[in-house]
Amino acid sequence: MKTPGKPTPKKQSPKQQREQAIAALRSGKPPADPLSQLNPRSLAIRVGIPALIVWAIALAIPGIWPKAVAGVLTVIVGGVIVWALRFATRTRAVAQIVQTADSAEARKDAIAKLDTEFKKDDTAATFAKAQLQMQEDPRAALRTLETINLDKVMAPMADEARAQRGMIHLILSETDEARALVDKIDMTRHKEPRIRAMMAAIVGEAWARTGQAGKAVELLETFDPNDEAFAELKPQLLRSRAFAYAWANNTKQMKTTLRSLSALNPQYLSGFVTKKKSPMGVPPRGVHPMLEKEAFEMLMRSGAIPRKMQQVRRG
């Protein structure tokens, strides 16, 4: 029965469902407000109290050198705080631009703003631009991310750039290129659970598709895809697990993972079917034949593949 006042949602075509599934795997939500952790009270507690202790010790010690050292430390800490506030302010501005880009035209306008309002070496703007480009042109997003000098940015940021580039290479079925990047990621540098899970999904898939399935399974099983904290990353975590279990010859877990992925959206399974071209027209590499077969059969049972495509595939 139709609810008064509410329009009946239009049923999506298989093509629209595929595009939606691909977009979900590619896209990411903007980061949390970077200024939320830098409020005055928090800064006063975390910086003010240690500074008072340092000055108390310096004043208690006779001579000018203790005071000079305390003064230098105070200036350094003050500089770090100013830099952090400026960085967080820029990051917030970038996030606000990304949040408004909810259509192709809006993304185009957002990219133009990022190009004109921020410096070319602004990493936050570069990440945001690549995120917007991923919706329509992964290769362009890859070129954008490659402008980040990994030797000059902070190590955690360099890892995030490697992870994002690795993800794009995996989408384009360039598994060797992805592996070369993820092998340089140091997971111990990242404490935020969501970032660690995102990186694990990319690193795990790259390992699984290049001969390190056991290592991939061990890493991926430290993250629960059903954890609410990883809700937005669930498709990526399940996709990576499917690759890892397949190459580890764990058929039971592979099938269970594929069923969970299909329950979210059957079109997620299309990424494992090699005879079906990828979004960029490149046949996927590193897909285990058993994984491909099971994914295709689940797709057929779900009705997500038109009959003509089924006949072509069987032929």
pLDDT 10s digits, 196-255: 999 999 999 999 999 999 999 999 999 999 999 999 999 999 999 999 999 999 999 999
Helix axes 175-182, 155-171, angle to 10 degrees: 170
The CA distance from 66 to 133, in Å, is 53
E-only strand ranges, the chain: none
Given a contact cutoff of 8 angstroms between Cβ atoms, the answer to whether 270 and 231 are in contact is no
DSSP conformation class of 48: I
Domain 132-315 has CATH 1.25.40: yes
What is the 3-class SS of 204-227, one letter each residue? HHHHHCCCCHHHHHHHHCCCCCCC
33 has pLDDT over 80: no
> Confidence band (pLDDT; 50, 70, 90) for 8?
very low
What is the average pLDDT across 172-177?
92
pLDDT at 131: 86
Domain boundaries, given as residue ranges, for the chain:
37-73, 132-315
Helix axes 14-26, 155-171, angle to 10 degrees: 160
What is the average pLDDT across 125-135?
86
Compare 50 and 245 and report the one with higher pLDDT: 245
| Residue 12 three-state SS | coil
56 has pLDDT over 70: yes
Diameter over CA atoms, the chain: 90
Given a contact cutoff of 8 angstroms between Cβ atoms, the answer to whether 254 and 290 are in contact is yes
Nearest to 210 by CA among 247, 235, 257, 181: 247
pLDDT at 113: 85
DSSP conformation class of 9: P
How many percent of the chain have pLDDT more than 70? 69
